[in-house]
C-alpha cells in the first residue's frame, strides 16, 4: 500500500497542505510544535477513525474552523493484476462527520478504516505492553478487520449481544428467558471470535519473534500468549456465562468472555513486564507493531503504511539503526517525524523524500 497523495485542511496548526510521498522512507522534519505529528494523525484518522492522541473533538480541528478535512489517495497491490488507485476523504467537526470512499458516500467510519491500513508507532505505544488490556484487544481486532473477511460480522454480533446482556443485568431483576437468549448469542459469537484472535496472534508470533531477536536480543526467547477471557481450556463460554450468572446479576455486568481477553509478551529473560523500563516497553511494543505489519504483508499480500512518530526521541541510535535497516530491507512506505533526521540516514542513502514542516506549512525538499 502506498499513499500517493495526502491532503490536510484545518488539522491543528495546518491550514492546508498537500503531500506527495514516495515509496520507502519519507521524513517529516521540523521544530517543536511545527505540525509533523499532525500529518501522522491525519493518516491515522483515515485508518482508525481517530487520532492516536485522542478523538477528533479533543482538539484535532483547527481552532476557529468548523471542521477538518483529510483526503488520501493510495495505490493498492501495485505489483499485481488487481492493482488499483483508491481515494478516501473525511470531513469531521468533532461531532459530525461525512466520508467518501472511491466516489461513494460511506455510512460508517469503519468502512473508511477498513480500506487504508496504517501501523503507527508513537510515544503512547508502550501502552501496548505496559497498559491495560484494551489496546491489546484493539491490536488483534485491527489486524483481523483487515485480513479476515468473516471477522467483522462476528465481532459486531458479539458486541451487540454484550451490550444487550449488560443492559439486562443492570435492570437487576432480568427476565431469565431473555438472559438465556443473550447468553446463547454471546457463546455463539464469542467462541469463533476467540478462535479468530488466537489464530491471528499465532500468525503474528513468528514475525514478532524474529524482530525481537533483532531488536531486543537481551530479553531472550519470546512468545505471545493468549488469554481468552474465561477458562477456555476447562469449559465452553456458554458454561462460563452460566456459572458467572449470579455474580453478573449482582454486579450488573458480564464478567467473562472475549471482551475480557488479553495477550501477553513473554520474554525468557524478563520475569514480569513490570521489570521493563519505559524504553524497553517501547521496544517490545515496536516489535509487536512491526510484527503485525509483517504479518499483514503476508496475509493481505502487501505492506501497510508504517508511521513512526518521533522515532529518534523514542529509541537510542543503535535501536533506531536496527529498526531502519529492517524497514529498508522490507521496503514498506514509511513516514518518520523528527526534529532532525535519524543519524542512520547519514550513513545510508535510504531517504526517498524529505518534507520540511514549519508552523503548519509543509514543503517537500527537492531531491
Ligand X SMILES: Nc1ncnc2c1ncn2[C@@H]1O[C@H](COP(=O)(O)OP(=O)(O)OP(=O)(O)O)[C@@H](O)[C@H]1O
Binding residues: 30-37
Q: Which listed range, 31-39, 73-81, 83-91, 188-196, lies at the site for ligand X (CB under 6 A)?
A: 31-39
Q: Does 136 bind ligand X (CB under 6 A)?
A: no
Q: Give residues 332-351 in contact with ligand X (rule: CB under 6 A).
A: 337, 339
Q: Which listed range, 26-34, 85-93, 167-175, 342-350, lies at the site for ligand X (CB under 6 A)?
A: 26-34
Q: Which of 2, 9, 30, 169 binds ligand X (CB under 6 A)?
A: 30
Binding-site sequence positions for ATP:
30-37
Q: How far is the CB of 144 from ligand X (least distance, A)?
A: 30
Q: Which of 9, 36, 136, 282 binds ligand X (CB under 6 A)?
A: 36
CA pair distance 80, 142, nearest whole angstrom: 24
Q: Which of 26, 38, 189, 320 binds ligand X (CB under 6 A)?
A: 38
Q: Which of 4, 5, 7, 13 binds ligand X (CB under 6 A)?
A: 13
Nearest to 103 by CA among 88, 92, 113, 82: 88
Q: Does 54 bind ligand X (CB under 6 A)?
A: no
Nearest to 310 by CA among 277, 339, 278: 339
Beta strand 222-227 pairing with 262-267:
antiparallel
Q: Which of 18, 33, 221, 365 binds ligand X (CB under 6 A)?
A: 33
CA pair distance 197, 136, nearest whole angstrom: 11
Neighbours of 126 (CB within 10 A): 23
Q: Does 104 bind ligand X (CB under 6 A)?
A: no
Instruction: Write the DSSP assignment of 334-358 as a string of letters.
Output: EEEEESS--THHHHS--EEEEEEEE
CA distances from 23 to 20, 39, 229, 310, 342 (A): 10, 17, 40, 19, 18
Nine cell digits for residue 163? 451490550
**Measured from the CB atom, is 97 or 326 closer to ligand X?**
97
Q: Does 35 bind ligand X (CB under 6 A)?
A: yes
Neighbours of 16 (CB within 10 A): 14
Q: How far is the CB of 109 from ligand X (least distance, A)?
A: 20
Angle between helices 176-215 and 317-330 (to 10 degrees): 100
Q: Does 95 bind ligand X (CB under 6 A)?
A: no
**Measured from the CB atom, is 37 or 198 closer to ligand X?**
37
**Measured from the CB atom, is 13 or 159 closer to ligand X?**
13
Q: Does an H or E element contain 74, and which?
A: strand 68-76
Q: How far is the CB of 28 from ligand X (least distance, A)?
A: 8
Is 227:262 a contact under the CB 8 Å cutoff? yes
Q: How far is the CB of 124 from ligand X (least distance, A)?
A: 12
**Measured from the CB atom, is 320 or 337 closer to ligand X?**
337
Q: Give residues 225-254 in contact with ligand X (rule: CB under 6 A).
A: none
Q: Which of 37, 51, 120, 198 binds ligand X (CB under 6 A)?
A: 37
Residue 36 phi, psi (nearest 5)? -70, -50
Residue 54 β-bridge partners:
51
Residues that bind ligand X (CB under 6 A): 12-13, 30, 32-38, 59, 61-63, 310, 337, 339, 357
Amino acid at each position: 500500500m502506498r499513499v500517493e497523495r495526502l491532503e490536510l485542511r484545518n488539522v491543528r496548526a495546518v491550514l492546508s497542505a498537500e503531500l506527495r510521498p514516495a515509496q520507502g522512507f519519507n521524513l517529516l522534519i521540523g521544530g517543536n510544535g511545527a505540525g509533523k505529528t499532525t500529518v501522522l494523525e491525519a493518516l491515522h484518522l483515515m485508518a482508525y477513525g481517530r487520532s492516536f492522541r485522542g478523538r477528533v473533538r479533543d482538539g484535532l480541528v483547527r481552532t476557529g474552523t468548523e471542521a477538518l478535512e483529510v483526503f488520501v489517495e493510495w495505490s493498492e497491490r501495485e505489483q499485481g493484476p488487481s492493482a488499483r488507485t483508491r481515494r478516501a476523504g473525511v470531513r469531521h467537526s468533532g461531532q459530525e462527520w461525512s466520508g467518501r470512499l472511491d466516489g461513494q458516500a460511506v455510512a460508517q467510519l469503519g468502512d473508511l478504516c477498513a480500506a487504508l491500513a496504517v501501523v503507527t508507532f508513537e510515544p503512547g505505544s508502550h501502552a501496548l505492553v505496559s497498559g491495560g488490556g484494551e489496546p491489546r484487544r484493539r491490536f488483534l481486532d485491527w489486524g483481523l478487520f483487515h485480513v479476515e473477511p468473516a471477522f467483522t460480522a462476528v465481532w459486531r454480533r458479539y458486541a451487540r449481544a454484550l451490550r444487550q446482556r449488560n443492559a439486562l443485568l443492570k435492570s437487576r431483576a432480568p427476565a431469565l428467558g431473555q438472559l438465556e437468549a443473550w447468553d446463547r448469542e454471546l457463546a455463539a459469537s464469542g467462541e469463533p471470535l476467540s478462535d479468530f484472535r488466537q489464530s491471528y496472534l499465532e500468525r503474528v508470533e513468528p514475525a514478532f519473534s524474529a524482530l525481537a531477536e533483532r531488536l531486543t536480543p537481551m530479553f531472550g526467547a519470546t512468545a505471545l500468549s493468549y488469554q481468552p477471557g474465561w477458562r477456555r481450556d476447562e469449559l465452553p463460554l456458554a458454561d462460563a456465562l452460566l456459572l458467572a450468572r449470579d455474580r453478573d446479576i449482582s454486579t450488573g455486568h458480564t464478567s467473562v468472555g472475549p471482551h475480557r481477553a488479553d495477550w501477553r509478551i513473554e520474554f525468557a529473560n524478563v520475569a514480569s513486564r513490570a521489570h521493563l523500563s519505559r524504553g524497553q516497553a517501547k521496544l517490545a511494543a515496536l516489535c509487536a507493531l512491526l510484527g503485525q505489519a509483517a504479518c499483514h504483508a503476508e496475509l493481505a499480500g502487501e505492506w501497510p503504511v508504517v508511521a513512526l512518530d518521533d522515532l529518534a526521541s523514542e529509541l537510542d541510535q543503535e535501536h533506531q539503526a536496527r529498526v531502519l535497516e529492517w524497514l529498508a530491507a522490507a521496503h514498506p512506505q514509511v513516514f518518520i517525524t523528527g526534529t532532525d533526521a535519524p543519524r542512520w540516514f547519514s550513513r545510508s542513502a535510504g531517504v526517498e523524500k524529505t518534507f520540511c514542516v514549519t508552523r503548519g506549512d509543509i514543503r517537500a525538499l527537492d531531491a
